[in-house]
Amino acid sequence: MSVKVFYASVSGNLEIKTAQQRIFSVLDGKRIPYEMVDITASDEAKASMRSIAGNPTALPPQISNGNAYCGDFSAFEAAVESEALEAFLKL
């Protein structure tokens, strides 16, 4: 399985953009490999993100390990702060 970050390459929401950049920065800094899944590129990607998150209105960024849901940005930040990122990412 691999870590997937569902994100939106096109968004007018500054909060979403900032959250996405923070996730990519942390994962890159810790050299954790991940796959970027752009939900604006296809309806299938958006549907997949919402299915995995178990929320029909979920917004990016959302994180999974394969098809196992890890959490949203708030949960990611909590994991980083408590130094439990690897457990959060199911690594």
- Write out the chain's pLDDT in tens, 91 residues: 699 999 999 988 999 999 999 999 999 999 999 999 999 999 999 999 999 999 999 999 999 999 999 999 999 999 999 999 999 999 9
Which pTM was predicted? 0.94
**Residue-range domain boundaries for the chain:** 3-88
The Cα 19–Cα 91 span in angstroms is: 21
Judge whether 58 and 64 are in contact, CB under 8 Å: no
| Structure confidence at residue 11 (pLDDT) | 85
CATH topology (fold) of 3-88: Glutaredoxin (3.40.30)
Q: What is the DSSP letter of 41?
A: S
